[in-house]
């Protein structure tokens, strides 16, 4: 790729963070029949994952798009529509690998996996005319959520994690392998409680018997700590989108953001790595839902 996509994406996210804005929280004000809160969606309704979620959320915030659906120029044409003249597309990436056969110093052939990343451009449906009406649909009015949100309760209950409630701090305790949460009533609203729980459950996935994720943390606040916290924050953002939760954005996070900036400025691939780890964590937690369903059926 002519443009270094790692540097381009990291630069934009760093710029947002320096303004005190976490771009993965802003898009939750969207209203569309595809969902009040959702990950970015492909033209066929399948959600994007990993770094593409952050890239398209950022594009939506910048351009003010409410619709969560994106497609390529060709896909729009195949649907009998057209991108309006002068509209600027948004970049997404496709990661894969190729296998290359090489001869070693002894003349023996070996196969080597070579990872690569390819970029392409997509457009939001608000930049496209002539699409079927459901791409532009607005949602019906919704009632306020109850004090406890049933589908979120079910999701976290299915994880099989040990949750303890009490005190005024939320954290994952690796030694005892439990998630500690303040009482439900201590949160300003139900959605903030579940968002915090999603953050700590993302930490819960790092245990050696789960995803075995280790960034070499030695002490609180070091680079390993900051990298794991970034993964947990993105994992919580992905889960909140999947569970249709809109937590309150905390204002007292200047030091919190500063530690993320240090990591991102020192490694242009850090946000890509964090998004990939966060996606694996979210997928792992979703996978436990299916396992619980199968166990009940058995």
- CA-wise closest residue to 135 among 76, 91, 59: 76
Burial of residue 250 (CB within 10 Å: 0-12, 13-18, 19+) is: exposed
Domain boundary among 119, 142, 165: 142
Write down the pLDDT at residue 1: 45
What global pTM score does this model have? 0.78
Do both 156 and 82 map to the same domain? no
Write out the chain's pLDDT in tens, 298 residues: 445 788 888 888 888 888 877 777 654 455 676 766 678 999 999 999 999 999 998 888 788 788 899 999 999 999 999 999 999 999 999 888 788 887 777 777 778 788 778 889 999 999 999 999 989 887 665 555 457 899 999 999 999 999 999 888 899 999 999 999 988 888 878 888 999 999 999 999 999 999 999 998 777 678 898 999 999 999 999 999 999 888 665 444 455 677 788 889 999 999 999 999 999 999 999 999 876 666 655 5
User: How many whole angstroms from its chain centre is CA 57?
Assistant: 10
Write down the pLDDT at residue 77: 97
Domain boundary among 116, 142, 168: 142
Do both 167 and 97 map to the same domain? no
Write down the pLDDT at residue 175: 94
User: Positive or negative, the Cα torsion across 241, 245, 246, 252?
Assistant: negative
Do both 282 and 237 map to the same domain? yes
Do both 84 and 161 map to the same domain? no
Phi, psi (degrees; rounded to nearest 5) at 255? -70, -35
Contacts of 182 (CB under 8 A, 6+ apart): 165, 166, 167, 168, 169, 170
Do both 44 and 184 map to the same domain? no
Q: What residue numbers bound the domain in which 187 lies?
A: 149-298
Do both 46 and 106 map to the same domain? yes
Number of domains the chain is built from: 2
Domain boundary among 81, 116, 142: 142
């Amino acid at each position: 790729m002519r443009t270094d996509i790692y540097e381009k994406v990291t630069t934009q996210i760093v710029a947002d963070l320096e303004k005190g804005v976490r771009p993965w929280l802003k898009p939750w004000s969207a209203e569309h029949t595809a969902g009040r809160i959702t990950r970015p969606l492909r033209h066929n309704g399948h959600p994007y994952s990993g770094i593409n979620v952050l890239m398209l959320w950022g594009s939506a915030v910048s351009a003010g798009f409410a619709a969560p659906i994106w497609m390529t120029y060709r896909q729009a044409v195949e649907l009998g529509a057209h991108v309006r003249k002068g509209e600027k597309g948004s970049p997404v990436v496709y990661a894969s690998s190729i296998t290359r056969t090489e001869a070693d110093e002894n003349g023996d052939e070996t196969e080597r996996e070579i990872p690569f990343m390819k970029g392409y451009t997509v457009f939001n449906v608000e930049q496209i005319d002539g699409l079927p009406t459901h791409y532009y649909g607005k949602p019906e009015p919704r009632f306020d959520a109850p004090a406890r949100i049933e589908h979120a309760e079910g999701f976290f209950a299915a994880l099989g994690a040990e949750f303890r409630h009490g005190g005024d701090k939320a954290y994952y305790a690796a030694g005892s392998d439990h998630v500690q949460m303040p009482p439900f009533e201590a949160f300003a609203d139900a959605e903030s409680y579940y968002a915090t729980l999603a953050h700590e459950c993302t930490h819960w996935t790092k245990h050696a018997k789960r995803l075995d994720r280790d960034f070499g943390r030695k002490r609180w606040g070091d680079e390993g700590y900051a990298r794991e916290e970034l993964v947990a924050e993105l994992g919580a953002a992905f889960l909140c989108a999947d569970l249709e939760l809109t937590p309150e954005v905390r204002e007292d996070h200047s030091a919190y953001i500063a530690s993320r900036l240090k990591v991102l400025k020192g490694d242009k691939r850090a946000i890509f790595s964090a998004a990939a780890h966060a996606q694996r964590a979210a997928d792992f937690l979703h996978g436990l839902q299916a396992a619980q369903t199968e166990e009940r059926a058995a």
